[in-house]
Amino acid sequence: MANVSPEERAAWVRQDRLMYGGLIAIGTVVIQPFLTSGPLDLTAMIAVISFAIGLPHLAVMVLIEDWPAPDIYPKLSWMPTMAKSLGLSGSTAGVVAAFWHISWIAGVAVLASGIGAGSALTVYQAKVMVPEEERRQVEAVRQQAERQAEAEREQSRRQAEAFQRQAGEARRHRGKSTDDTGRS
């Protein structure tokens, strides 16, 4: 998000916080039955461990999204990326494992629909976000062309004024020479 306006950044933060908060809520609801049940089978254990990894990272991402990032602090871009990756992958694996615990068909269905939804989001972002970047670049070029055209118009106006002054001075000079020659 290199050339992102503050409004666009705020929209991304809202979207991310909604996603993180939703996954935290889903994870909290999904693991509750596993906490009070007896011994867990493999899929239930995978779900609990996945959420145990994912939920803290999602909570950290909610906090990180709100923190200001003044220029005086060093940039640690890999840390939020790592937290986001662990949070999203842990929660996704937890949801898939929880559905798989109920029924392997449900697990496959949620996995396939998650992959489809992720692909749709990627395509949407490629179609919408890339053209938005191109639109900003075109707008910057258009504004630069307008500034250049305005500068050229101003230069032409000044040249026309200078020409008119010179023409006026030439007429006055010719008028003085005629007056001077007419008196003699």
Query: pLDDT tens, 131-159?
Result: 666 777 778 888 888 999 899 999 989 98
Annotated domain spans of the chain = 6-129, 131-175
pLDDT of 184 reads 46
Q: Compute CA distances 63 → 54, 57, 155, whole Å.
A: 15, 10, 54
Q: What would the two tokens of residue 163 be?
A: 């020409």
Query: pLDDT tens, 60-97?
Result: 888 877 776 655 556 667 788 888 889 999 999 999 99
> Rounded to an integer, what distance in angstroms lies between the CA atom of residue 172 and that of residue 169?
5
Q: Exposure pattern of 27-36 as b/e (b: 16+ CB <10 Å)? A: beebbeeeee
Query: pLDDT tens, 3-55?
Result: 667 777 777 778 888 889 999 999 999 889 888 888 889 999 999 999 999 99
pTM of the model: 0.62
The candidate with the shortest Cα–Cα distance to 103, out of 84, 73, 111, is 111
DSSP code for 2: T
The candidate with the shortest Cα–Cα distance to 51, out of 2, 13, 101, 15, is 101
pLDDT of 103 reads 94
pLDDT of 71 reads 54
CB atoms within 10 A of CB 121: 10
Alpha-carbon torsion angle 48, 84, 25, 51, nearest 10: 0
pLDDT of 179 reads 58
Output the furthest CA–CA distance in the chain (Å, rounded): 128
pLDDT of 174 reads 77
Where is pLDDT greater, at 125 or 70?
125
User: For residue 179, which amino acid is it?
Assistant: D
DSSP code for 38: S
